């Protein structure tokens, strides 16, 4: 059972958060459509309930303590989460919402074209997507799950393996006409485009071709999308996952080189906080995703 002492009312927390954010009781009162004296009283009531001072008072100014600033970060996250949940309920009272963090290329080229199938099967569920390129803490972000590249090593999380990443070296027809590449070693004279999160990918690719990678040089990118466009423009050779390379090769914008679909340096995973494992929209999405990836890898 939760202690009521440590569950202040929304009005107390809203007043506290507004004062922290705006820097004054006057501005907080204006934002919340209350009087300044009401804001001051709400802050005092919150301090009484918690049993400690949140602000130092100097000449009618409220200066937050270090502890109050830390508490305020938690309160802001909690209020944001309540607001988001309320908005989702208002928009979809008969179902549920799934907030999913995605990798940009995977989300655009692999997941998005398939999502319609999921929504047809689960019309009561709304999916909200946001991009995150680096690992984050579920406790600090309001996501129900994330698409992750790497290993099954998120702490306190469940993991569903989607598939291994397989890479193909791709070159533009124009660059290939200017620099014929008849053997693997011929690539070493060309710029080899690199992705920040795949620092070892070219060495793995060369090893799969039976060759040894010497010094690798070329532009560095943080996303596959920009690296793909650079390769199409003839700025170098790109290592692309099969789901990205397929359309570019089929439509003639890029040409594959040597052994294709080489096993890369990691896998794609769906990860979720253990506390959300039985959340119905997440269960439905997880089961659907397992089925989709099983079909895609047959």
Mean pLDDT across 293-297: 75
With beta carbons less than 8 A apart as the criterion, state whether 100 and 147 touch: yes
Q: Are residues 245 and 285 in the same domain?
A: no
With beta carbons less than 8 A apart as the criterion, state whether 102 and 130 touch: yes
Q: Is 93 helix (H, G, I), strand (E, B) or coil?
A: coil
With beta carbons less than 8 A apart as the criterion, state whether 297 and 164 touch: no
Q: Are residues 257 and 169 in the same domain?
A: yes
Q: Give tens-digit pLDDT for 215-250.
A: 777 889 989 999 999 999 999 999 999 999 998 999
With beta carbons less than 8 A apart as the criterion, state whether 180 and 155 touch: no
Compute φ and ψ for 95, nearest 5 degrees: -135, -130
CA distance 148 to 154: 9
Q: Which two tokens stand for residue 112?
A: 């998005």
Sorted by sequence, the CB contacts under 8 Å of residue 185 that are 6+ apart come out as 211
Q: Give tens-digit pLDDT for 1-55.
A: 666 777 889 999 999 999 999 988 899 999 999 999 999 999 999 999 988 899 9
Q: Which two tokens stand for residue 251?
A: 């439509």
Of the listed ranges 36-45, 90-99, 158-167, the least confidently predicted one is: 90-99
Q: Are residues 149 and 280 in the same domain?
A: yes
Question: What is the structure's pLDDT at 138?
Answer: 83
Last residue of a domain, one of 59, 91, 123: 91
Q: Are residues 87 and 103 in the same domain?
A: no
Q: Are residues 106 and 250 in the same domain?
A: no
Mean pLDDT computed over every residue of the chain = 87
> Full-prediction pTM beyond 0.75?
no
Closest CA to 175 of 246, 65, 254: 254
With beta carbons less than 8 A apart as the criterion, state whether 49 and 37 touch: no
Q: Are residues 183 and 39 in the same domain?
A: no
Compute φ and ψ for 212, nearest 5 degrees: -110, 135
Number of domains in the chain: 3
Which residues form the domain of 195? Answer: 165-264
Q: Are residues 210 and 257 in the same domain?
A: yes
Question: What is the structure's pLDDT at 268?
Answer: 93
Q: Give tens-digit pLDDT for 105-154.
A: 999 999 999 999 999 888 888 888 998 888 888 877 788 999 999 998 88
Question: What is the structure's pLDDT at 90?
Answer: 66
- Domain containing residue 221: CATH number: 3.40.190.10
- Domain containing residue 72: CATH number: 1.10.10.10
């Amino acid at each position: 059972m939760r202690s009521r002492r440590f569950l202040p009312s929304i009005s107390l927390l809203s007043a506290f958060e507004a004062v922290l954010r705006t820097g004054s009781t006057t501005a907080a009162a204006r934002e919340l459509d209350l009087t300044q004296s009401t804001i001051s009283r709400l802050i005092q009531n919150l301090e009484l309930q918690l049993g400690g001072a949140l602000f130092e008072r100097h000449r009618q100014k409220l200066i937050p303590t270090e502890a109050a600033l830390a508490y305020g970060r938690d309160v802001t996250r909690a209020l944001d989460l309540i607001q988001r949940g309320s908005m989702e309920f208002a928009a979809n009272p008969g179902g549920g919402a799934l907030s999913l963090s995605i990798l940009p290329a995977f989300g655009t080229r692999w997941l998005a074209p398939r999502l319609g199938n999921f929504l047809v099967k689960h019309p009561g569920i709304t999916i909200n997507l946001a991009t995150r390129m680096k690992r984050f803490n579920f406790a600090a972000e309001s996501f129900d799950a994330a698409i992750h590249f790497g290993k099954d090593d998120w702490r306190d999380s469940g993991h569903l393996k989607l598939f291994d990443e397989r890479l193909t070296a791709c070159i533009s027809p124009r660059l290939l006409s200017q620099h014929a590449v008849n053997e693997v070693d011929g690539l070493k004279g060309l710029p080899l485009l690199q992705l920040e999160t795949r620092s070892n990918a070219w060495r793995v690719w060369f090893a799969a071709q039976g060759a040894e990678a010497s010094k690798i040089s070329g532009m560095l990118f943080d996303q596959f999308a920009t690296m793909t466009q650079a390769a199409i423009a003839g700025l170098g050779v790109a290592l692309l996952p099969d789901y990205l390379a397929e359309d570019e090769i089929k439509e003639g914008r890029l040409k594959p080189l040597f052994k294709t679909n080489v096993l890369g340096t990691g896998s794609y995973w769906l990860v979720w906080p253990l506390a959300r494992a039985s959340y119905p929209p997440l269960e439905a999405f997880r089961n659907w995703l397992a089925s989709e990836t099983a079909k895609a890898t047959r």
